[in-house]
């Protein structure tokens, strides 16, 4: 299993917005010359733009604006964090330690 | 007539002594108090546990009351001198042989023990010097109420402190009727309390709900208590030790008939205590008793449900109503459900009703580890954000020995779903079962570094032999020999061995067939420690891009790296979000490839994913380990590392069209 080329292409699409546009608008051109199996080429060409944008698309913008670093240092996530919860292990007593 | 005699009398004073649970009211006392009010019987509940925590500090109190202190029983020892006198006890021996060695029951500690262990030992020893004054104050306060009956709840490590106060109370007010109940009084333990401590008038063994009000009414009326099943009195004498001589009180069959526990006095006392603000209080809430799994297969290590394994639960409507009443009366507090196991029927009505109401509650429940993903999601939506699943091991063989009725792969699956769906699992890893295969622990030591992105165990420890567990009740048949009370007991109770054995709940053992548990579990213990250190930073998540699945691996054992899956590998990996058998994966692969394609060798397709540690398998099934992003949101720190990986790879990628990339 080696999908290094796939990972490189997706990574480049994250950090290089021009390449990203080309990957989704003219995938054959964007992928030309890369060492891809037919299956990998098809997968990349048919990759969901919507899913890419919603999960990876904002990472670079956030990083460029300092967003990721800022939220990292502020110990919060750009994705809404779960509600803080009570730590039951800190109450000094566990109802039972076996069940 | 002196001034004390002019005070109004309280029929019943109920007491929770150290080292009862600190930041939560006793559900036992809450239920008993609530059962008296409709009968016009006056009562007062006193939480002297709070008072002693104020004396020695909440953090030291928590240390002595914590479940891991069951090895040293230090909470009991602190009060032993006040019960038996200095001369009867070997305090030096206790400190040297029991308290000073680092505890062995929890692998969460760093190797060599806690760095402040020695100073904590000194503080615990010094706590004894506060006991006499504390008991004097407790006695004075109880007497202010001029009680006719004083009832002590005794669970976990509050037995000796309760006995010490009861002894003083009887000496000062001999007409006061002294009553004990709680888990420390079940069966032979309660019988031995009656025999050894003549100042205890009666003990209730098992569930007290159905006998308590009658017991109180008869006592107040001066009637005798004969015929009350499960109530042991001094009049019973040696009969208690006849076969069948110490029966349990009848168990509640109609859970809806129980009153709503009355916690008002706890919260009044808490509000008046300097402890308020030191830690957050919780509410105890009960929806069932017994264990539906234990009715079929009693987990061999489990000593809960001594009185009755028979599973009984409240109706969904009653449970919901009670929860609303308690959380309205005591708002903003997490709710600890005391059940041993969640009723699966509750997924039909109670849990969905809670979810629909969006009450913003925080509930804790113990559950069986075989939950389905939609059930975990429903728990989350209902505010049941912390669960204690009965995981205990990842070895199928060890799980089989303990009759857990689960597979290791399913246990990992649950931990993964919990991470994805935002439910915190509080779980334990146990070892030391007779006949367990050492090789399984070597395999487990290799497995654990792959799980560091998931919640680690809160405790990892050798098996403890608890009274009422099959391991204790059928010790010899299950491979144990030399069963004896844990050593701490003999420093606490200056009684003959047989008497101590009757009072004890925790036992040591040896194996009929010797096994080097310490040796073969060393790797697992080290891996658990590494897991606990790593878990804050470790992550492993997958991002679905439609035709490509991208996996970001941020576990320390693997080094930060990306993996992308396409085609059949992607399809199979996504399908293994829950454990999938090889046969079902073969069928899935055939569907994916279409009828014209040759049957694929699924195991060959997935082998590289096992090698790079993003999947695990057992004899028949595969499970993917990456947590899908969606309902799961990686932390900002994980996203920053993920971005760094992408940037590193993306900027190395060829700038010019036509340049070939090599795999």
User: What's the complex ipTM?
Assistant: 0.81
Residue of B nearest to A56 (CA): B543
B366 Cβ under 8 Å from any chain A Cβ: yes
Q: How far apart are CA B45 and CA A28, in angstroms?
A: 78
* Interface contacts A/B by beta carbons within 8 Å: 231
B280 neighbourhood in chain A, CB within 8 Å: 86, 91
pLDDT over threshold 50, residue B16: yes
pLDDT over threshold 90, residue B659: no
B364 neighbourhood in chain A, CB within 8 Å: 88
- Pairwise CB contact (< 8 Å): A12 & B650: yes
pLDDT tier, B104 (very low <50, low <70, confident <90, very high otherwise):
low
Mutate to test the interface with A, among B632, B646, B659 (most CBs of A within 10 A): B646
Q: How far apart are CA B169 and CA B483, in angstroms?
A: 36
Instruction: Tell me the pairing of strands B548-553 and B561-566.
Output: antiparallel
Q: Hey, is A77 helix, strand or coil?
A: coil
Distance from CA of A37 to the nearest CA of B (A): 10
The rounded percent of chain B whose pLDDT value lies above 70 is 95
- Pairwise CB contact (< 8 Å): B658 & A33: yes
CB B384 within 8 A of CB B423: yes
Q: How far apart are CA B496 and CA B7, in angstroms?
A: 43
Distances (CA, A) of B369 to B387, B414, B466: 10, 7, 22
Least Cα distance to B105 among B493, B482, B430 occurs for B430
DSSP string across B354-372: HHHHT----EEEEE-TT--
pLDDT tier, B22 (very low <50, low <70, confident <90, very high otherwise):
confident
- Pairwise CB contact (< 8 Å): B649 & A72: no
Q: Hey, is B174 helix, strand or coil?
A: coil
Q: How far apart are CA B518 and CA B521, in angstroms?
A: 6
Distance from CA of B366 to the nearest CA of A (A): 8
B426 neighbourhood in chain A, CB within 8 Å: 88-89, 94
**pLDDT for B377:** 97
A39 neighbourhood in chain B, CB within 8 Å: 566-567
Helices vs strands, H then E, count in chain A: 7, 0
Residue B13 carries which DSSP code?
Answer: E
Q: How far apart are CA B42 and CA B31, in angstroms?
A: 14
H/E segment holding residue B531 = helix B517-534
A47 neighbourhood in chain B, CB within 8 Å: 545-548
Q: How far apart are CA B503 and CA B298, in angstroms?
A: 23
**pLDDT for B211:** 97
- Pairwise CB contact (< 8 Å): A44 & B548: yes
Residue of A nearest to B284 (CA): A95
pLDDT over threshold 80, residue B654: no
Distance from CA of A79 to the nearest CA of B (A): 6
**pLDDT for B657:** 44
Distances (CA, A) of B440 to B407, B436, B488, B521: 13, 8, 32, 10
- Pairwise CB contact (< 8 Å): B640 & A80: no
Least Cα distance to B318 among B295, B285, B281, B291 occurs for B285
Distances (CA, A) of B226 to B11, B98, B211, B394: 21, 42, 12, 50
- Residue pLDDT, tens place only, B569-624: 999 999 999 999 999 999 999 999 888 778 789 999 999 999 999 999 999 999 99
**pLDDT for B642:** 92
**pLDDT for B557:** 86
Distance from CA of A43 to the nearest CA of B (A): 5
- Residue pLDDT, tens place only, B415-429: 999 999 999 999 999
Give the CA radius of gyration of chain A.
Answer: 21
Mean pLDDT by 10 residues, chain A (99 residues): 83 92 96 92 95 83 64 48 48 37
Mutate to test the interface with A, among B406, B547, B561, B632 (most CBs of A within 10 A): B547
- Pairwise CB contact (< 8 Å): B334 & A5: no
A67 neighbourhood in chain B, CB within 8 Å: none
């Amino acid at each position: 299993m080696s999908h290094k080329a796939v990972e490189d292409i997706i990574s480049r699409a994250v950090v290089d917005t021009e390449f990203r546009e080309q990957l989704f608008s003219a995938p054959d051109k964007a992928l030309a010359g890369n060492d891809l199996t037919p299956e990998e080429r098809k997968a990349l060409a048919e990759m969901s733009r919507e899913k890419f944008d919603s999960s990876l698309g904002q990472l670079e913008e956030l990083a460029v604006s300092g967003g990721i670093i800022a939220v990292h240092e502020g110990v919060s996530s750009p994705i809404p964090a779960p509600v803080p919860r009570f730590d039951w292990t800190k109450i000094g007593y566990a109802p039972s330690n076996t069940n | 007539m002196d001034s004390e005699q002019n005070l109004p009398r309280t029929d019943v004073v109920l007491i929770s002594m150290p080292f009862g649970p600190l930041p939560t009211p006793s559900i036992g006392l809450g239920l008993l108090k609530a059962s008296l009010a409709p009968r016009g019987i006056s009562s007062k509940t006193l939480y002297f546990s709070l008072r002693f925590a104020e004396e020695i500090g909440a953090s030291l109190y928590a240390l002595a009351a914590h479940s891991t202190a069951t090895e040293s029983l230090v909470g009991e020892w602190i009060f032993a001198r006040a019960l038996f006198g200095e001369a009867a006890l070997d305090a030096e021996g206790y400190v040297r042989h029991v308290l000073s060695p680092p505890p062995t029951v929890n692998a969460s500690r760093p190797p060599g023990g806690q760095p402040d262990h020695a100073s904590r030992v000194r503080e615990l020893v010094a706590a004894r010097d506060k006991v006499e004054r504390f008991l004097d104050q407790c006695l004075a306060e109880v007497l202010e109420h001029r009680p006719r009956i004083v009832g002590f709840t005794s669970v976990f490590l509050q037995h000796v402190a309760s006995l010490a106060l009861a002894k003083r109370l009887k000496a000062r007010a001999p007409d006061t009727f002294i009553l004990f109940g709680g888990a420390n009084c079940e069966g032979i333990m309660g019988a031995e309390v009656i025999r050894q401590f003549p100042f205890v008038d009666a003990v209730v063994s098992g569930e007290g709900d159905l006998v308590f009000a009658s017991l109180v009414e008869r006592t107040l009326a001066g009637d005798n208590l004969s015929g009350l099943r499960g109530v042991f009195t001094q009049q019973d004498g040696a009969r208690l030790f006849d076969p069948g001589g110490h029966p349990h009180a009848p168990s509640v069959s109609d859970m809806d008939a129980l009153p709503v526990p009355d916690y008002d006095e706890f919260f009044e006392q808490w509000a008046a205590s300097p402890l308020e603000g030191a830690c957050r209080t919780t509410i105890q809430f009960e929806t069932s008793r017994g264990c539906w799994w234990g009715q079929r297969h009693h987990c061999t290590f489990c000593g809960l449900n001594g009185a009755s394994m028979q599973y009984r639960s409240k109706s969904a409507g009653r449970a919901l109503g009670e929860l609303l009443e308690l959380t309205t009366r005591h708002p903003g507090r997490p709710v600890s459900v005391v059940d041993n196991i969640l009723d699966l029927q509750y997924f039909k009505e109670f849990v969905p009703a809670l979810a629909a109401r969006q009450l913003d509650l925080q509930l804790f429940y113990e559950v069986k580890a075989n939950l389905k993903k939609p059930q975990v999601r429903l728990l989350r939506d209902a505010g049941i954000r912390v669960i204690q699943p009965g995981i205990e091991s990842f070895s199928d063989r060890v799980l089989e020995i303990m009759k857990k009725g689960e597979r290791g792969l399913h246990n990992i699956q649950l931990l993964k779903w919990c991470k994805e769906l935002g439910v915190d699992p509080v779980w334990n890893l146990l070892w030391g079962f007779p006949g367990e295969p050492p090789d399984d622990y070597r395999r487990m030591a290799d497995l654990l570094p792959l799980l560091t992105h998931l919640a680690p165990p809160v405790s990892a420890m050798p098996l403890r032999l608890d009274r009422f567990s099959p391991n204790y009740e059928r010790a010899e048949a299950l491979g144990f020999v030399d069963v004896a009370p844990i050593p701490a007991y003999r420093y606490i109770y200056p009684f003959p061995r047989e008497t101590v054995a009757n009072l004890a709940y925790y036992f040591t053992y040896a194996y009929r067939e010797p096994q080097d548990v310490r040796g073969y579990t060393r790797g697992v213990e080290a891996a658990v420690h590494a897991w606990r250190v790593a878990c804050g930073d470790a992550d492993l998540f997958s991002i679905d891009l439609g035709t490509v699945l991208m996996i970001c691996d941020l576990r320390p054992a693997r080094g930060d790296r990306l993996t992308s899956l396409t085609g059949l590998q992607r399809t199979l990996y996504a399908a293994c979000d829950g454990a999938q058998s090889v046969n079902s994966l073969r069928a899935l692969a055939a569907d994916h490839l279409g009828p014209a394609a040759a049957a694929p060798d699924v195991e060959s397709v997935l082998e590289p994913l096992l090698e790079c540690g993003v999947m695990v398998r057992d004899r028949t099934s595969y499970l993917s380990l990456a947590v899908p992003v969606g309902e799961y949101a990686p932390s900002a720190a994980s996203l920053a590392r993920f971005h760094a990986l992408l940037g590193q790879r993306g900027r190395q990628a060829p700038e010019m069209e036509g340049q070939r990339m090599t795999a």
